[in-house]
Amino acid sequence: MVETNQIVDRDTMAQPELTLSLCKDLSVALAKFPRVALGHLPTPLEPMDRLSEELGGPRLWVKRDDCTGLSSGGNKTRKLEFLMADAVQSGADTIITQGATQSNHARQTAAAAAKLGMECHILLEDRTGSNDPNYIMNGNVLLDRLHGASVSKRPGGADMNAEMVALAEDLQQNGKTPYIIPGGGSNPIGALGYVNCAREVTEQAAAAGLKIDALVHATGSSGTQAGLVTGLAAIQSDIHLLGIGVRAPKDKQEGMVHDLAVRTAEYMGTGVQIDRDLVRANCDYVGPGYGLPTEGMIAALKLLARTEGLLFDPVYSGKGLDGLIDQVRKGYFDGMENVVFLHTGGSAALFGYPDTFDLHGYTS
- Active centre residues (catalytic): 103
Minimum distance from CB of 354 to ligand PLP (Å)?
18
Q: Are 95 and 111 in contact, with CB atoms under 8 Å apart?
A: no
Contact segment (CB under 6 A) with ligand PLP among 27-35, 84-92, 271-279, 339-347 equals 339-347
Q: What is the DSSP letter of 42?
A: S
Smallest gap, in angstroms, from Cβ of residue 96 to ligand PLP? 17
Cβ atoms 326, 296 nearer than 8 A: yes
Residue 181's SS3 state is coil
Q: Cα dist. 165→121, 176, 200 in Å?
A: 12, 13, 35
Write each residue from 206 to 225 as x if it is in contact with ligand PLP (CB under 6 A), else as -, in one continuous string. Answer: ------------xxxxxxxx
Q: Which of 57, 74, 245, 291 binds ligand PLP (CB under 6 A)?
A: 74
Strands 150-155 and 119-126 turn out to be parallel
- Residue among 57 and 220 whose Cβ is closer to ligand PLP: 220
> Considering the rule CB under 6 A, would residue 61 count as an interface residue with ligand PLP?
no
**Contact residues for 89 (Cβ-Cβ < 8 A; gap 6+):** 34
State yes or no: residue 254 binds ligand PLP (CB under 6 A).
Answer: no
Comparing CB distances to ligand PLP, the nearer of 134 and 186 is 186
**What CA–CA distances, in Å, run from 242 to 53, 215, 321?**
22, 6, 12
Among 39, 73, 184, 323, binds ligand PLP (CB under 6 A): 184
Using DSSP's 3-state secondary structure scheme, residue 99 falls into strand
Q: By CB under 6 A, name the one of 81, 125, 313, 322 that touches ligand PLP.
A: 313
- Alpha-carbon gap, residue 358 to 62, rounded angstroms: 27
How many C-beta neighbours within 10 Å does residue 287 have? 16
User: What letter represents residue 78's amino acid?
Assistant: R
Residue placing its CB nearer to ligand PLP in the complex, 22 or 197: 197
Contact between 344 and ligand PLP by CB under 6 A: the answer reads yes
From candidates 139, 323, 345, 352, binder to ligand PLP by CB under 6 A: 345
Among residues 19, 94, 186, 327, which is the contact residue for ligand PLP, using CB under 6 A?
A: 186
Query: Judged by CB, which is closer to ligand PLP: 19, or 125?
Result: 125
**Helix or strand run (H / E) with residue 201:** helix 188-207
Q: Applying CB under 6 A, which residues contact ligand PLP?
A: 74-75, 104-105, 184, 186, 218-225, 313, 316-317, 344-346
